[in-house]
Amino acid sequence: MSNLTISLIQTNLYWEDKAANLRMIEEKITAIQDKTEIIILPEMFTTGFSMRAKELAETMDGPAVEWMKRVAAEKKVILTGSMIIEEGGKYYNRLIWMLPNGQVGQYDKRHCFSLAGEDKYYTPGDKRLIASVKGWKVNLCICYDLRFPVWSRQTKTPDSTSPEFDLLIYVANWPDRRIHAWKTLLPARAIENQCYVAGVNRIGNDGNDIHHSGYSMVADPLGEVQQMEPGQEGILTITLDRNKLDQTRQQIPFWKDADPFLIL
């Protein structure tokens, strides 16, 4: 299997201004000159982490999803990030996995952040999304999910012949006041799952004057980190080494000794 190149966009967000965020992010995407295959945006990249779900939600055929479809096709990349979606009278913090051919995958945030009241406005998801690209299996998660390792764990059954996924992605609005947990748990998820982990976090103050410092990063299967400059807008494009992943799993096959379980 071949290597996989991903781009992490660490940026400030305009508070609850979808049009401004889409314009700004498209400029950043257009500026990426390096060849890349997946572009990862922060959590709620169209609005910031807002609880005004009813006022800000879109449907799956709304303008932001259509924007993702157009940009993914023009750039010939997979584009992913979360936004506020209304469906069946309920509101979801939904990660969109947009392929360049217009096919869409979706993941609804499992763990709603009760400390900010997210559980009062949004419905939690109950299904994981593990996507496939170039033979890589990609497990997609959102922010607070990072604190719950069982949800992000490689599931193992008695007849498992290989790990369930190769890359974990977390998109986030993770505040600076708890950034130590972010910086600790991302490499921990990589080590325990013997996979790559990419975490994309925003920077700047949101509409509630909560400060975000970014620290977006990629951790390899041994937990070694390449980290973006905190507090600075930027784009990190990095190629994930398939041989390194496979050799790590072969030479120290810890995943084979994991306890078998199923997420119901």
Above 90 in pLDDT, residue 156? no
> Is the CB of residue 215 less than 8 Å from the CB of residue 182?
yes
Determine the Cα angle at 111 with ends 167 and 259, to 5°: 55
112 is catalytic: no
Residue 3's pLDDT is 98
Tell me if residue 160 falls in helix, strand or coil: coil
Q: Which of 37, 69, 118, 143 is catalytic?
A: 143
pLDDT band at 222 (very low <50, low <70, confident <90, very high): very high
Q: Which of 18, 37, 43, 118 is catalytic?
A: 43
Mean pLDDT of 44-60: 98
Mean pLDDT of 3-19: 98
- Provide the token pair at 246: 């496979």
CA separation for the pair 107, 88 (Å, rounded): 16
Above 90 in pLDDT, residue 259? no
Mean pLDDT of 206-213: 98
Residue 161's pLDDT is 85
pTM over 0.85: yes
What does the DSSP assignment read for 237-259?
EEEE-HHHHHHHHHHS-GGGGSP
Above 90 in pLDDT, residue 66? yes
- Chain mean pLDDT for the chain: 96
> Is the CB of residue 79 less than 8 Å from the CB of residue 68?
yes
Above 90 in pLDDT, residue 196? yes
244 is catalytic: no
Residue 78's alpha-carbon distances to 47, 202, 236, in angstroms, are: 21, 20, 16
Q: What is the 3-state secondary structure (H, E, C) of 47-103?
A: CCCCCCHHHHCECCCCHHHHHHHHHHHHHCCEEEEEEEEEECCEEEEEEEEECCCCC
143 is catalytic: yes
How many percent of the chain have pLDDT more than 90? 93
Neighbour-count burial for 227-245, b at 16+ CB within 10 Å, e otherwise: bbebeebebbbbebebeeb
Residue 192's pLDDT is 97
Helix (H) or strand (E) holding 128: none
pLDDT band at 158 (very low <50, low <70, confident <90, very high): confident
pLDDT band at 59 (very low <50, low <70, confident <90, very high): very high
Above 90 in pLDDT, residue 211? yes
Above 90 in pLDDT, residue 159? no
Give the other-Cβ count within 10 Å of 148's Cβ.
Answer: 13
Beta bridge partners of 219: 197, 225
Above 90 in pLDDT, residue 131? yes
pLDDT band at 206 (very low <50, low <70, confident <90, very high): very high
pLDDT band at 260 (very low <50, low <70, confident <90, very high): confident
Q: Which of 18, 37, 58, 109 is catalytic?
A: 109
Mean pLDDT of 85-114: 98
CA separation for the pair 16, 14 (Å, rounded): 6
List, in order of start, the domains of the chain with CATH numbers: 4-257 (3.60.110.10)
CA nearest 174: which of 123, 214, 129? 214
> Residues 171-190: pLDDT tens digits?
999 999 999 999 999 999 99
